[in-house]
Amino acid sequence: MVEHRMIDVKGIRLHIAEEGEGPLVVLLHGFPESWHSWRHQFGPLAAAGFRVVAPDQRGYGRSDHPEAVEAYNILNLVGDVVGLIHALGEQQAFVIGHDWGAPVAWHTALLRPDVVRGVAGLSVPPPFRGDRAPLGAMQERFGGRFYWNYFNQPGVADAEFGRDARTTLRTFFYSASGDGPRAGHPDSALVSDPARGWLADMTDPETLPDWLTEQDLDEVTASYAKGFTGALNWYRNLDRNWELTAAWDGAVIAPPSLYIYGDRDLVPAFPGASELIANLPKLMPNLRRAPIVLPGCGHWTQQERPTEVNAALVEFLTELAAS
């Protein structure tokens, strides 16, 4: 059974969900989600002999929501993971992330390989530090219509998303899923008219997809009682993260690794992503197998395809734990 508690992690309080005993597995959610996005993974991973912990990351749910935008930079996010592992009484853990949780997982493996026994990312491939700051690059490519740039306008997306959190989340989940009408086409699905708002060009479904229930939507909606600002502040650190990670330009991810994504996911269809995925063996020399591609799956990988994701994770983790 999944249990919940608060835990102090080097100056920040995080809400965690946990189940099982054995080697520690930390599951990191993305935007706009919460620990609940891993609901299908707790039982199978615990049954396979692992201690499974999923936090609400900083700025989300019942965890602390620091006010300063810079508090959400990548070094602090990695620090939360390392601090959580140690606060749980462990020196090492397997770290798995989805969406924004994937860059945190990849960077934790990159910056602290001594703490990471193995790393897996869902949807978002390993970090590739381009030759220019990301917000300016996307501003130029999409004329200010890309979602990163919209999210970086102080208070704007915060207000739009917060007016009706449940509708916002329902719209996000459907539109970016494999069921969405523009799945796999980021040039249309991830740009919009900033004057009309981000949700204006997204689809609010009359019926939820099979993988998302009204109870699931209730749970995640409740986690946004404090609003969306903390979560959006992660995006407001994209250029800062680019600056902070300069020392690791060209570095590789050393721990054993795994990458899983859906063929209708918007993120692996980003400009340049296919080339990046093709070069993963160079970025992750301990990649344990070729990237796992899930047919018909959109962005919400572990929610849309829990059976396949669980099987891949159990195989990956069990092999590493045995070695």
Task: Please list the active-site residues.
Answer: 99, 299
What secondary structure letter does DSSP report for 142? H
Q: In this structure, are residues 95 and 116 in contact, taking their beta carbons and an 8 Å threshold? A: yes
CA-CA-CA-CA dihedral for 80, 85, 89, 92, to nearest 10: -150
Report the distance separating Cα 69 and Cα 318, nearest Å: 39
- Residue 12, H or E segment: strand 12-19
Handedness of CA 11, 89, 311, 281 (dihedral sign): positive
Q: How many CA atoms lie within 13 A of 46 on its CB side?
A: 17
- Residue 29 tokens read as 């959610």
Q: How far apart are the first and last CA of the chain?
A: 28
Report the distance separating Cα 303 and Cα 129, nearest Å: 29
**β strands within 206-314, DSSP E:** 257-262, 292-294
